[in-house]
Structure 1
Amino acid sequence: MEKLHLLLAEAGLELVPKALWSHPAVRASARKRGKKPGEILLDVALHRSAMANLEERWKRGRPDIAHFCMLLALGSLLNRAGLLSLHVHTYEGKVIGIAPNVRLPRNYNLFLGLVEQLMVEGKVPPGSSEPLLWVENLDLRGLLERVKPSRVFLLS
């Protein structure tokens, strides 16, 4: 049976852009988490005031949606049967590769920490020869050329 490739396009997973690092809302959430402003995920629930002038802000800062969709896909019967391959394309034009056997944290705060580590280090676990999650600089066209799907369905 042919594998289904599920692609979440322009997912709202990105580190806080440099232009927002000095905003009080960003600095406060970074301080609470014990991290630098450039090492935390942009999240509209925490950074709405900082995002006011951000280009295409309606698409950005929604790690909650990506978390829910990823949990749903990875918990599906298709994935458990080895018939699903999940790819996450971010707003910044990066692709997150996901091993089929990965178990994402159901807790949202743990998920944030995992994705922050992924975006900073490039793979999880860092230094692993067989990572569970990894980031590649690849656009949608490049990903489709690599996957070579027999059919493509677009949903919005």
Structure 2
Amino acid sequence: MSTRDTILQTARNLTIEAGVVPSMDVIARAAGVSKGGMMHHFTSRAALVEGIAREAILDMDDALDTAAAQGTAVETWLRLSASREEAALYRAMSIILTDHASLTDTLLQQAAESTERWERLFAAETGDPVTATVVRLLGDGLLLNTLADDAEHDIDAILQWLDRRSGT
């Protein structure tokens, strides 16, 4: 694993554990790199948060691509949306990510493109683009409920309801 990847993985893990994005010093120490070495890869905390966000998008892409090959993209999306780990990461980053001044247009574009790509996977699985949008929004709602510590979701019941609606 490259130094950059080690820093990102360490930052992500610490963020999930702490519930906030730690300082650059804390992350550098935990990753086993000097502050200068870390700054070589991430010139600011905002750049590091962007890196974490990009990695999270890529991880979701990988998970959904794998699931789509098995015909389980919808289920995977809903289960990941309701996971405490995803919620903890999103909660910690949400304050920084809502500051559009600290985000690049590239990251915002990447997030929008990912959402479109995921909806296409859901549409291919369900056979209906409207159902795909409902699935994406349902996942977004599950994430928000999990952020509010309402993590009791009956994903199986939701999937059964979706199956009945789509006739599969």
Smaller-chain TM-score bracket: 0.3 to 0.5
Relative to the length of structure 1, the TM-score reads: 0.32
Relative to the length of structure 2, the TM-score reads: 0.31
Greater helix fraction, Structure 1 or Structure 2 = 2
